[in-house]
Amino acid sequence: MVVSPVALDPAATSTDLSNADVVALDRKNVFHSWSAQKSLNPMAIAGGSGSTVWDHDGNTYLDFSSQLVNTNIGHQHPKVIAAIARQATSLATVAPAAANHVRATAAAKILSHAPANMEKVFFTNGGADANENAIRMARLHTGRDKVLSRYRSYHGNTGSAIAATGDWRRIPNEYSRGHVHVFGPYLYRSEFWAETPEQETERALHHLRRVIQAEGPQSIAAILLETVPGTAGILVPTPGYLEGVRALCDEYGIVMILDEVMAGFGRTGDWFAFDAFNITPDLITFAKGVNSGYVPVGGVIISGEISATFDERVFPGGLTYSGHPIAAASIVASIDAFEEEDIIGNAARIGRDHLEPGLTALAAKHNVIGEVRGRGVFWALELVQDRTTRTPVSADYMGRLKVEILRLGLLPFLADNRIHVVPPAVVTPEEVAQALRIYDQALTTVTM
């Protein structure tokens, strides 16, 4: 049974401030990411509880964005908030070179849900530097340089992580060396003229093999993949694809890195998204859902083989806040709550029994929905002008749709021509039903 979050009480976080006051102060002083600064009009959020947030003017919203798809445990979970407070009063910070009980416990908790071949955890400040350090480990372990990743991907905004990213954000930031991109499976918009999932898998793997051969297997350190690409469209891999990538990595001596930053810790209804597939990676990166972003943290879960590379050899990487005790305490409390409250199971049931049938029913009603795809609490509605041509809807349509969804009381996650339906893993059936009514009404009201 999922425990209720801190009682919903917008008044508890209210002040004399208005939304306009907060936005004015923000616009004066804050430089926002991924944005042209002049035209910004950010939403002011004052507080939250479970799957709900509210602003300074008393408006409440169902949070079906999970902020940046990271508040898996919901807003203000009481056990996590209490653990952060306790740790802050006992030891607020400690250098990463020290041994610290809460840090070691956090690593042990994470490893208890990882594959048996995983032996160590290297803590970072977030997902981008987790991928950065995983790439570093793979290069040093293999003595090779190149990293293969997909065009439809996002791996973070640091040197190698952004170069490994496939989407448009990579192009003005390509300062890192040795990155090669491939197309992965995406049957709805197949790059391989495939008509079935089996064809898509076979042809995507053939494409990957040929790129490996053309680049020179002896030059490739790692293949870095989001297990389920998130920002790129919640692209659940076609059957056999990830197993085929694992086989290619084994054949050519390439390290398999799975980026579980967005998909891990309950998002797909499993502890890790790859749990649904018959594979074991060499390195796993995580962040976001491990503590729902309550305190910045991420990390790399390292196989015994790769960890042993650095038994007698210095690993040339580190961070001042690696394994920060307050972040570690939030991880321990989060994983305890996941286990004790069956939050992973809740995410799986919500996906199977409520989101999948509810979103499928929406697609039957609204021709603008070209495809529904996802797992757990990780779903996407791909919106098209025409189901036959699959032409994406316009940016103007998406903008008007977002305004209407917000007006109806739901905080959405929209990307390109998609609605990403990504509530916290603690979401209730009643909240899902409310969200489905809002999506339905918005799709009815907003026309092309």
Total structural domains within the chain: 2
pLDDT for 153-186, tens place per residue?
999 988 787 778 888 888 877 778 899 999 999 9
pLDDT for 216-238, tens place per residue?
999 999 999 999 999 999 999 99
pLDDT at 389: 97
pLDDT at 176: 82
Low-confidence spans in the chain with pLDDT less than 50: 4, 6-7
3 inside domain: no
- Looking at the fold, whether 364 and 310 belong to one and the same domain comes out as no
pLDDT at 15: 63
- Looking at the fold, whether 264 and 410 belong to one and the same domain comes out as no
- Looking at the fold, whether 313 and 207 belong to one and the same domain comes out as yes
Secondary structure of the chain in HEC code, one letter for each residue:
CCCCCCCCCHHHHCCCCCHHHHHHHHHHHCCCCCCCCCCCCCCCCCEEEECEEECCCCCEEEECCHHHHCCCCCECCHHHHHHHHHHHHHCCCCCCCCCCHHHHHHHHHHHCCCCCCEEEEEEECCHHHHHHHHHHHHHHHHCCCEEEEECCCCCCCCHHHHHHCCCHHHHHHCCCCCEEEECCCCHHHCCCCCCCHHHHHHHHHHHHHHHHHHHCHHHEEEEEEECCCCCCCCCCCCCCHHHHHHHHHHHHCCEEEEECCCCCCCCCCCCCHHHHCCCCCCEEEECHHHCCCCCCCEEEEEEHHHHHHCCCCCCCCCCCCCCCHHHHHHHHHHHHHHHHHCHHHHHHHHHHHHHHHHHHHHHHHCCCEEEEEEECCEEEEEEECCCCCCCECCHHHHHHHHHHHHHCCEECEEECCEEEECCCCCCCHHHHHHHHHHHHHHHHHCCC
pLDDT at 162: 79
In this structure, what CATH number is given to the domain that contains residue 234? 3.40.640.10
- Looking at the fold, whether 434 and 398 belong to one and the same domain comes out as yes
- Looking at the fold, whether 320 and 386 belong to one and the same domain comes out as no
pLDDT for 299-348, tens place per residue?
999 999 999 999 999 999 999 999 999 999 999 999 999 999 999 999 99
Give residue 440's domain range.
10-76+343-445
- Looking at the fold, whether 85 and 220 belong to one and the same domain comes out as yes
